[in-house]
Copies of this chain bind each other. A is one copy, B any other.
């Protein structure tokens, strides 16, 4: 609004006031920006695109502006900030207010920070999960007693096992309607990677159709309004580069429950520079996942996996998808570690479903992959989902070379992820990097370490300048 607006004067609004906008019975709560007089004509109000869409407003509409409501849930938020435990009604009140867009970004940031670390009890996480489920749609899969899902809590660059696992286990007859999220803090989420290849924004009816044809799908969860409050939280989590434990569990399980899953496999990679750093933290997280899932009627199996080094060679949406396709097509160039991890996880899911032991499950998974049946199944899924696209290629490719000879003792996952993000991933699907070495390899001075992929010179220069300051993210020694 203009700085000389009579409504601001009459109502006592100032910059950053929270205001309620009313149009034809619809309401929106917004943060007020005050602008100079030449920015807007008299008696006009400017809206952000999101706000205009949410309110369905068009140029020339008359609206009513009044003080924002006093949000009672902010007392509960303060109680949590001060370290007290919240009851179910309090957590529900916060989540309802966030899901109806009543919180400003700084209030959301405060909520996330107050809940991060180990500051949510198991009971609070259960309340949070249930509140998040109840804010959105719920899917149900009539006629299917067991509905499967898998989730990796992330932190390992390149670890794109989901499309492989879904193809393998659905080829074996399991129902696995996989809804994935976009990246929160990593260079790519499964949704970002799948989007380089096919349509991922499917509606509920379309998903039902894909499942009835193939038993599986690989779509973006955000398009189907499952636990939609999670998207609001993730936007601020991403800006803070933050992914708290309780929030993480509620985010994952609320989406699984809303998606109608009954059996979920959680992969927790552990490593010094992975998201989870110690075996003890991983066990704690696994126990919490199982406890919260069980309280909400969900069977959860957790596996703790090696998170000490990147998986596969590609990092970033398109480059990770290239690795996935190589594994499905049994190419000689396919990364062995990615293939092995996918088979291990598929076997866990098959055993979870059939209970005939992990050896039998592993040999079934391997035969489905090696025989090309998983690849056929994958093509079937993306064809029913929609188009099949060519993977994009980056405009700029820059090879970086080893500065010394020796053994690669370690690669810092966090800094490697940051490098891929600075290169433009996941916003630019083609951006990222491709490793030419991994931990344990011997390298000669001048040998290629990785290729950087960027879509613009600005991003290339920015990423390379970060790498020059952080070339020790590759620890090479005698």
B-binding residues in A (CB < 8 A):
9-12, 14, 16, 36, 39, 46, 49, 66-67, 70, 74, 78, 81-83, 104-114, 116-119, 236, 239-242, 244, 418, 422, 424, 427-428, 455-459, 462, 466
**CB-nearest residue of chain B to A65:** B458
Which of chain B's residues have a CB closer than 8 A to the CB of A67?
422, 458, 462
| Docked-complex contact B12 and A424, CB < 8 angstroms | yes
| A12/B456 contact (C-beta < 8 A), A114-B113, A244-B81 known | yes
A selection of 18 A-B contacts at a CB cut-off of 8 Å is A9-B456, A10-B456, A10-B457, A10-B458, A11-B456, A11-B462, A12-B427, A12-B455, A12-B458, A66-B458, A81-B116, A106-B106, A106-B108, A106-B240, A107-B109, A110-B110, A110-B113, A114-B114
| Docked-complex contact B110 and A242, CB < 8 angstroms | yes
CB distance from A435 to the nearest CB of B (A): 21
| Docked-complex contact B14 and A427, CB < 8 angstroms | yes
Candidates B104, B116, B455, B458; contact of A239 at CB < 8 Å? B104
Which of chain B's residues have a CB closer than 8 A to the CB of A241?
74, 78
Alpha-carbon separation in the docked complex, A459 to B12 (Å): 7
| Docked-complex contact A242 and B462, CB < 8 angstroms | no
Alpha-carbon separation in the docked complex, A153 to B46 (Å): 40
Alpha-carbon separation in the docked complex, A49 to B36 (Å): 9
Which of chain B's residues have a CB closer than 8 A to the CB of A10?
456-458
Alpha-carbon separation in the docked complex, A418 to B455 (Å): 52
Which of chain B's residues have a CB closer than 8 A to the CB of A457?
10
Which of chain B's residues have a CB closer than 8 A to the CB of A39?
39, 46
Alpha-carbon separation in the docked complex, A340 to B387 (Å): 80
**CB-nearest residue of chain B to A3:** B49
Which of chain B's residues have a CB closer than 8 A to the CB of A105?
105-106
Alpha-carbon separation in the docked complex, A12 to B460 (Å): 10
CB distance from A72 to the nearest CB of B (A): 10
**What 10 A-B pairs come out closest when comparing CB atoms?**
A11-B458, A83-B117, A113-B113, A106-B109, A110-B113, A109-B109, A82-B117, A81-B116, A12-B459, A10-B458
CB distance from A8 to the nearest CB of B (A): 10
| Docked-complex contact B466 and A70, CB < 8 angstroms | yes
Which of chain B's residues have a CB closer than 8 A to the CB of A239?
16, 104, 106-107
| A119/B242 contact (C-beta < 8 A), A12-B428, A67-B458 known | no
Which of chain B's residues have a CB closer than 8 A to the CB of A78?
241-242
Alpha-carbon separation in the docked complex, A118 to B107 (Å): 20
Alpha-carbon separation in the docked complex, A455 to B13 (Å): 12
CB distance from A21 to the nearest CB of B (A): 15
CB distance from A62 to the nearest CB of B (A): 18
| Docked-complex contact A119 and B427, CB < 8 angstroms | no
Alpha-carbon separation in the docked complex, A81 to B455 (Å): 34
CB distance from A12 to the nearest CB of B (A): 5
Which of chain B's residues have a CB closer than 8 A to the CB of A240?
106-107, 110
